[in-house]
Structure 1
Amino acid sequence: MTGSRTAHLTPQERAARGRAARGFVPRSAHAEFTPQPDRADPVDVLEAQSAARVPELVPVRYARMLESPFRFYRGAASIMAGDLAGTPSTGIEAQLCGDAHLLNFRLLASPERHLMFDINDFDETLPGPWEWDVKRLAASLVIAGRNNGFAEAERATVVHGAVRAYREWTARFAGMRHLDVWYTKIEADDLYRALRDGGNRVLRTRTARALAKARTRDHLHAFEKLTHLVKGERRITPDPPLIVPVGDLLPDVERDQLEEQMRDLIERYGESLPSDRRALLDQFRLVDMARKVVGVGSVGTRCWIILMLGRDEQDPLLLQAKEAETSALSAYTGPSAYENQGERVVSGQRLMQATSDALLGWERAEGIDGRQRDFYVRQLHDWKGIAAADTMSPRGMRIFSQVCGATLARAHARSGDRIAIAAYLGRGDIFDRAVAKFAEAYADQNEDDFRALGRAARAGRVRTDAL
């Protein structure tokens, strides 16, 4: 990362550092992917993660991962982290998302109530080689393209678009002042214009609908969808095993204990917020909570929906408190500078996003089993919108991939040595073509790992039937 060693070098010195990296890691070397001889068994990696998760939810995770190679990839960040550690690296670092697949780029709300486009998931965030995020994004595009039946040439065009956008925007950021980089953001209207200018009528229509839908998915929409009245009081609606209210989950004594612990968590989490946001949070009272299954890779982590009410029943706040585990990258990059994993997630998110959730914070809580666990907390469903990757055409995915590449470049430019990275990448497409080859090779590996999990399920080694 840009720090005391590089932040005060001259632009010329930083550019020289980037060009020098070509000497020991040629840009064409990024095409390489050969599994290491001692590569860990992919099912072993997944089972090691699952050992610390809620046992009855682990089968849900495996079932979701076995739906397709792309769904498997979404849950296999830990597997790819080990593989990326064996690939060439320039030694230039940035704050990484750690799980930069295409569905982790989406629409979300800023505190100023603008609809933005940005990276969304930071469970694995840590400082590390900037190349890793680029390669994870590129591989996800190939895997999604295969899922949609794209030809190899069409997939290559999609990946080239993403990596070229990353390279060209990194060069643009390299020439900008620090504050100008920091204030750069992609609003939904910018995204619409990009898709409008480069797409067709169908793509424009779909994009306009997606933007309109995202603006309806606010806290009031979530409140109506996820809650109902019970004897005149608002409660979270059960949808087992995906949503299980605490009253249905535990005996009375343990339920009371957990509710008290969560009340304490919310009160103490407020201390991680700026004083104005803490004052806002203090105006709400906790009413109900439920365990929620989220995503693919996160299934089995402890995640709670917390219903709070303010002035009256028409003044709701829905929070999500999600367990933060040790990053999958940490075994290869070194441990986080933050002792609390929730703080690691929040700090990485605030650093990489142009603007973050107004109520994003962290805390540590003790479970009813007596174990301490770290959590990060944010609003649930605040103008969220996700791309429908499985319905994208090659042209639509190519345009979307370019916006993802530009967004990732902006995120890395906030923390990494953007001048050195830009100098390393240069103006040609050597790196673009190399990463496209890597992405195809890694998609093959992902399919092999997907089949390995399928064999493990058929042999009874892992369960896919939720209780």
Structure 2
Amino acid sequence: MSDPKENAGKKLRDQVPRTSQGLCKLSPKRPSALSIIEAGNIDRVTNLIPIRHGRMSVSPFAFYRGTAAVMAQDLAFLPHTALEVQATGDCHLMNFGGFATPERTLIFDVNDFDETLPAPWEWDIKRLATSFVLAARNNQLKDTDAEDMAVRVAASYRKSLYEFSQLNKLDLWYMKFEMHHLMEQAANDKVKQLLKTAIDKAEKSTQQKIFYKTTRNESGSFEIADQPPLIYHPLHVAQEKDKIRSFMEQYMRTLQDDRRFLVSQYEVIDVALKVVGVGSVGTRCLIALLMNNKDEPLFLQVKEARKSVLEAFMHPSQYAHCGERIVQGQRLVQAASDIFLGWSTGDDNRHYYVRQLRDRKIAPDVESFDKEILGAYADLCGRVLARAHAKTGDAATISNYMGKSEVLEGAIGVFAVAYANQTEKDYQAFKKAIKAGKIPVEMS
């Protein structure tokens, strides 16, 4: 007797041929990338917008990181199967990395969820594959190698999704990509050494070490050290401390009881504004220094939560609070999440989410990757994304749609090259607008 999910997956090929996943014919009514960027600047911190533009102006790859909204617009009008997963929404290769689980094990996983929303699985894999093409070009690899990176990430995704679709559901949810295991299993000596160096550095990155790097002793009390224009205190620090304490009361109600008890033993000592990322620059972000009665530090990041860029093209989030949307999406996708994840609303009625700051974080130094290392990274990211989609979507139907041949990854490779070309065109228009003085820029 045939599997109905297998039949459903194969029937989808009649409606959306796998080769159609390679199409990159954009709508003639497509808004310009510049207009979408400008729309995304609405309600950002005005004096930080030039820094956002400056970071995006560095390269087509950096520009791509700041234009999730542009790609969401394009993907919505291209062929897709309508099979939904908990999409990350901004699935590029810099939004994967290492961090510590609550048990203090270092794992590798997706680590950015600002745009997460249920959406077609293709949107994540296409954005991820395109990011590999742009990263390869940025690293001066050959055009053929750049396309091969996109094919590799899609092939890893296809093969891994099939594997995960066969797993017991509990085994799938318990699965973690442990950094030490990845290092031990690495076939390439360069990759093994790279992972060892990253793990050694992460294991030394304790809250105490961050404390001494981030704070200064001012008249016998500690405060966050200003590093303008990227870290700086608000004008009215005392008022901000009062606001954050009220904010924290709401935040703590979103935590489990045991975690609420833990946080209750700390007091907010100082707060400062922080500029983060590329696409996030200009959204409101604070770092808060908390201390307990033993003078042990805890750093929390309070980050503004806005509507996902996918919401204009999908159904609205089931969560009225944008911070809850991000936190719940992160908990669904990740194998293990920060125990301090929660959300709250500021006195300005804006939504925020909270997480621990730089908890043994490992960020990939992609610009230093050669062909071998970037290829291994593509394999890993494809596998991690497949685990995320298998957890939150109909893995069997998606897997059977993709099949066992190389048709799907070939199509994704074609798409990724074409969309990378379009990104470079949009980037040139962006640079031209900067040169003409139409877009303010500040380098940082």
TM range (shorter): over 0.9
In structure 1, C-alpha distance between the alignment counterparts of 2:272 and 2:231, rounded to whole Å = 6
Which of 289, 295, 300 is the equivalent residue of 1:319?
A: 300
Residue 20 of structure 1 aligns to a residue whose secondary structure is: helix
Match of 1:330 in 2: 311
Is contact 2:61–2:138 with CA below 8 Å preserved after alignment? yes
Residue 134 of structure 1 aligns to a residue whose secondary structure is: helix
2:394 equivalent to 1:417:
yes
Amino acid at match of 2:316: P
Equivalent positions of 1:35-54 (< 5 A) are 35-54=26-45
Which of 423, 426, 434 is the equivalent residue of 1:446?
A: 423
Equivalent positions of 1:155-304 (< 5 A) are 155-194=146-185, 196-197=186-187, 199=188, 201-245=189-233, 249-250=234-235, 252=236, 255-304=237-286
Amino acid at match of 1:343: E
Match of 1:119 in 2: 110
In structure 2, C-alpha distance between the alignment counterparts of 1:207 and 1:96, rounded to whole Å = 27
Cα-to-partner distance string for 1:328-367 (whole Å, 9 max, x where unaligned) = 1110112111000000000000000000001111111123
In structure 1, C-alpha distance between the alignment counterparts of 2:45 and 2:32, rounded to whole Å = 22
Is contact 2:97–2:108 with CA below 8 Å preserved after alignment? yes
Aligned residues: 444
Equivalent positions of 1:321-400 (< 5 A) are 321-367=302-348, 372-400=349-377
Is contact 2:55–2:443 with CA below 8 Å preserved after alignment? no
In structure 1, C-alpha distance between the alignment counterparts of 2:206 and 2:3, rounded to whole Å = 47
In structure 1, C-alpha distance between the alignment counterparts of 2:174 and 2:152, rounded to whole Å = 24
In structure 2, C-alpha distance between the alignment counterparts of 1:27 and 1:152, rounded to whole Å = 23
Is contact 1:261–1:366 with CA below 8 Å preserved after alignment? yes
Amino acid at match of 1:358: I
Residue 330 of structure 1 aligns to a residue whose secondary structure is: coil
Match of 1:401 in 2: 378
Amino acid at match of 1:244: Y
In structure 2, C-alpha distance between the alignment counterparts of 1:165 and 1:466, rounded to whole Å = 37
Cα-to-partner distance string for 1:220-246 (whole Å, 9 max, x where unaligned) = 22111111100010100000110012x
Which of 62, 71, 76 is the equivalent residue of 2:62?
A: 71
Cα offset, 1:17, TM superposition = 1.7
Amino acid at match of 2:42: A
Is contact 2:109–2:384 with CA below 8 Å preserved after alignment? yes
Cα-to-partner distance string for 1:243-274 (whole Å, 9 max, x where unaligned) = 012xxx31x4xx43332221111121011111
TM-score (norm 2): 0.98
In structure 2, C-alpha distance between the alignment counterparts of 1:77 and 1:261, rounded to whole Å = 32
Amino acid at match of 1:231: S
Structure 1 residues 157 and 190: alpha-carbon distance in aligned structure 2, compared to 1, 3 A threshold = farther
Is contact 1:183–1:354 with CA below 8 Å preserved after alignment? yes
Unaligned runs of 5+ in 2: none
Amino acid at match of 2:203: R
Is contact 1:302–1:323 with CA below 8 Å preserved after alignment? yes
Structure 1 residues 466 and 259: alpha-carbon distance in aligned structure 2, compared to 1, 3 A threshold = farther
Cα offset, 1:421, TM superposition = 0.6
Which of 429, 432, 437 is the equivalent residue of 1:455?
A: 432
Cα-to-partner distance string for 1:303-347 (whole Å, 9 max, x where unaligned) = 00000001322x100000000011011101121110000000000
Match of 1:4 in 2: none
Which of 412, 419, 440 is the equivalent residue of 1:435?
A: 412
Cα offset, 1:466, TM superposition = 7.2
TM-score (norm 1): 0.93
Is contact 1:271–1:278 with CA below 8 Å preserved after alignment? yes
Unaligned runs of 5+ in 1: 1-9
Cα-to-partner distance string for 1:392-418 (whole Å, 9 max, x where unaligned) = 111111111111000000001111000
Cα offset, 1:217, TM superposition = 2.1
Cα-to-partner distance string for 1:170-214 (whole Å, 9 max, x where unaligned) = 1011111211111111010232134x31x1x33322221111112
In structure 1, C-alpha distance between the alignment counterparts of 2:266 and 2:104, rounded to whole Å = 20
Which of 98, 104, 109 is the equivalent residue of 2:100?
A: 109
2:78 equivalent to 1:90:
no
Residue 99 of structure 2 aligns to a residue whose secondary structure is: strand
Is contact 1:56–1:466 with CA below 8 Å preserved after alignment? no
In structure 2, C-alpha distance between the alignment counterparts of 1:259 and 1:466, rounded to whole Å = 30
Percent identity at matched positions? Answer: 41
In structure 1, C-alpha distance between the alignment counterparts of 2:262 and 2:330, rounded to whole Å = 21
Is contact 2:139–2:368 with CA below 8 Å preserved after alignment? yes
Amino acid at match of 1:186: F
Cα-to-partner distance string for 1:118-150 (whole Å, 9 max, x where unaligned) = 000000000000000000000000000000111
Is contact 1:11–1:419 with CA below 8 Å preserved after alignment? no
In structure 2, C-alpha distance between the alignment counterparts of 1:322 and 1:184, rounded to whole Å = 28
Q: Return 317-326 or 26-35, whichever deviates more.
A: 26-35
Is contact 1:100–1:137 with CA below 8 Å preserved after alignment? yes
